[in-house]
């Protein structure tokens, strides 16, 4: 009897300890509650994943299993997309209604050298990267499992079930015909992999984010950012092998093979924020997204992968196209060099472009564009079904059709979530009700700049002088002497498949 009383008091003491921790740390309540459920102290709460939940208050239901994470305060977070955990300066795109708090992107294309914040005294950094121990108390029983380990396991389990539900609901796709397991590396399958080759300021940020808004897409945004302000081509053999090896490892979700990139993540967590399906977990604790094992497990669950590359020259895309096991599709995105240079120089958040010839010099940009033209000419002949080249201006001028072409090439559909993303974020009206709509990515904003700032015309003429061959090859026309007149800056593209008609 005494032994029973003693054990009863011990159980009550442990239970009270859990309750006290939950009361003191509301942001860790779900983790501790799950732990308490495992010990049998409390009954599990129902969620939207439970087969019967009619009696659950609406506030406790998770609206979309793909987008949610196993956290008790998801509903509160969903109502506050400007959560100060995320640096407001990094927000640009408005949010589709069914993903109200997750799409987080920067104001510019993957920049050539954004000053990544690593100063521990920087308040913006602290807001963007919560300290790993802020949200968690250790379990009451020292023999209990590590709470971070519990969070990893519950996150992976939750995401797996959510993906299965979301995949079954995708419009126009019959899971009976396409097994989810056949598209998941976690089950020995092969995901649909798509690569965008572009350059800084080319519009690849917009195109990449639009593609990533397709459900169940794991987005590797600018995975070579740790290389710095560089352009990597086939002549730099060691660097090219290292860079392409990194991309192949990521396409296979082998984060253990890219230790230098994972180390970069440790100091620069914000590089994950465009992969919004991963970023939500990173916000819980930095330890999750510094863990190669967790990153690999999470990546391997997703049936679709998209990669945005702005530091790799187009010639190297053949390394991926020739690999039948990877089975990738490649889009080469081209933009008017005058627009590219204007975007780079006028992007105030890009702090190091002026320090690198690879970024600010129009002669270097257009030399690369000429090389890319001849590479594209060869690739389109050798890989007509897996390689596509389009101009950003043509895509933007016929937005819906342009993305139908892109997504069809990528073996995807123009899903309503992509359509909603385009409707919100391509708004031309500055009075749009969505303040994050980005007028600066309109394809001809550079024309307006030079019309309004005639003192910069010498700079424009210098770009055209250095880019004459590239402009002729890709179908861009020089501006007339009188900018007050209406004029066309593009002519017919070089190849018929580029004509979006």
Per-residue pLDDT tens digits for 100-111: 333 333 333 333
Q: Residue 67 falls within a domain, yes or no?
A: no
**Domain hosting residue 479, numbered range:** 152-498
Residue 35 has pLDDT above 60, yes or no: no
Q: Residue 469 falls within a domain, yes or no?
A: yes
**Residue (of 251, 252, 281) closest to 265 by Cα position:** 281
Greater confidence, 434 or 347? 347
Tell me, what's the pLDDT at 176?
A: 53
Q: Residue 265 falls within a domain, yes or no?
A: yes
Residue partners of 289: CB distance under 8 A and separation at least 6: 265, 269, 272, 278, 281, 282, 295
Centroid of chain to Cα 214: 11
**Residue (of 223, 286, 284) closest to 258 by Cα position:** 223
Residue 382 has pLDDT above 80, yes or no: yes
Tell me, what's the pLDDT at 14?
A: 47
Q: Residue 367 falls within a domain, yes or no?
A: yes
- The secondary structure of residue 346, as a DSSP letter, is T
Total tally of structural domains belonging to the chain: 1
Tell me, what's the pLDDT at 151?
A: 86
Other CB atoms within a 10 A radius of the CB of residue 73 amount to 11
Q: Residue 370 falls within a domain, yes or no?
A: yes
C-alpha dihedral (227, 233, 235, 241), degrees to nearest 10? 60
Per-residue pLDDT tens digits for 230-284: 899 998 889 999 999 999 999 999 999 998 888 887 777 667 678 888 888 887 7
Residue 19, beta-bridge partner list = none
Greater confidence, 248 or 3? 248
pTM here is 0.73
Q: Residue 344 falls within a domain, yes or no?
A: yes
Q: How far is CA 462 from CA 258, 390, 478, 490, in A?
A: 41, 25, 11, 18
The whole-number average pLDDT for the span 169-178 is 66
Q: Residue 191 falls within a domain, yes or no?
A: yes
Helices assigned H by DSSP within 322-415: 337-345, 357-360, 362-382, 392-397, 399-409
Q: Residue 216 falls within a domain, yes or no?
A: yes
pLDDT above 70 coverage of the chain, percent: 64
Residue 21 token pair = 């921790």
- State the residue for tokens 């998209």: 306
* Contact yes or no for 197/319 (Cβ under 8 A): no
- What's the residue count for the chain? 501
**Residue (of 355, 351, 354) closest to 115 by Cα position:** 351
Q: Which helix (H) or strand (E) covers residue 240, if one does? A: helix 237-251
Residue partners of 25: CB distance under 8 A and separation at least 6: 32, 135, 136, 137
CATH number of the domain at 336, please.
3.40.50.300
Task: Enumerate helices (H) and strands (E) in the chain, giving the number of each.
Answer: 20, 5
């Amino acid at each position: 009897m005494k032994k029973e009383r003693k054990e009863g008091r011990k159980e009550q003491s442990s239970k009270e300890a859990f309750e006290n921790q939950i009361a003191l740390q509301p942001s860790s309540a779900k983790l501790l509650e799950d732990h308490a459920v495992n010990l049998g102290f409390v009954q599990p709460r129902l969620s939207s994943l439970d087969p019967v939940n009619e009696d659950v208050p609406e506030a406790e239901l998770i609206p979309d299993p793909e987008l949610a994470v196993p956290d008790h305060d998801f509903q509160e977070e969903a109502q506050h997309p400007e959560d100060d955990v995320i640096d407001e300066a990094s927000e640009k795109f408005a949010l589709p209604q069914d993903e109200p708090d997750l799409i987080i992107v920067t104001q510019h294309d993957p920049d050539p050298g954004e000053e990544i914040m690593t100063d521990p005294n920087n308040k913006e950094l602290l807001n963007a990267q919560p300290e790993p121990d802020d949200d968690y108390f250790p379990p009451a029983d020292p023999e209990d499992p590590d709470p971070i380990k519990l969070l990893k396991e519950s996150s992976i389990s939750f995401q797996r079930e959510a993906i299965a539900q979301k995949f079954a609901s995708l419009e126009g796709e019959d899971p009976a015909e396409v097994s989810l397991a056949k598209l998941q590396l976690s089950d020995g399958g092969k995901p649909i992999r798509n690569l965008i080759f572009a350059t800084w300021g080319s519009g690849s940020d917009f195109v990449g984010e639009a593609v990533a808004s397709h459900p169940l897409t794991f987005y590797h945004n600018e995975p070579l950012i740790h290389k710095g302000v560089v352009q990597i081509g086939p002549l730099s053999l060691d660097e090219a092998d290292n860079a392409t090896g990194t991309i192949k490892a990521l396409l296979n979700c082998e984060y253990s093979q890219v230790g230098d990139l994972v180390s970069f993540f440790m100091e620069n967590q914000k590089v994950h924020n465009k992969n919004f399906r991963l970023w939500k977990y990173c916000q819980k604790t930095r330890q999750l997204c510094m863990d190669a094992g967790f990153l690999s497990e999470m990546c391997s669950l997703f049936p679709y992968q998209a990669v945005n590359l702005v530091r790799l020259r187009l010639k190297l895309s053949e390394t991926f196209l020739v690999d039948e096991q990877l089975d990738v599709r490649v889009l080469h995105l081209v933009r008017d060099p005058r627009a590219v240079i204007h975007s780079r120089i006028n992007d105030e958040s890009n702090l190091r472009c002026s320090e690198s010839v690879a970024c600010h010099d129009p002669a270097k940009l257009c030399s690369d564009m000429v090389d890319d033209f001849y590479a594209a000419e060869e690739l389109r002949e050798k890989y007509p079904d897996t390689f596509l080249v389009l101009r950003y201006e043509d895509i933007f001028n016929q937005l819906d059709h342009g993305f139908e072409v892109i997504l069809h090439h990528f073996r995807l559909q123009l899903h309503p979530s992509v359509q909603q993303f385009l409707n919100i974020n391509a708004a031309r009206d500055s009075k749009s009700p969505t303040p994050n709509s980005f007028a600066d990515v309109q394809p001809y904003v550079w024309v307006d700049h030079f019309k309004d700032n005639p003192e910069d015309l010498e700079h424009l003429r210098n770009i055209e002088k250095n880019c004459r061959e590239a402009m002729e090859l890709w179908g861009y026309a020089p501006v007339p002497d009188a900018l007050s007149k209406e004029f066309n800056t593009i002519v017919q593209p070089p190849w018929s498949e580029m004509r979006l008609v």
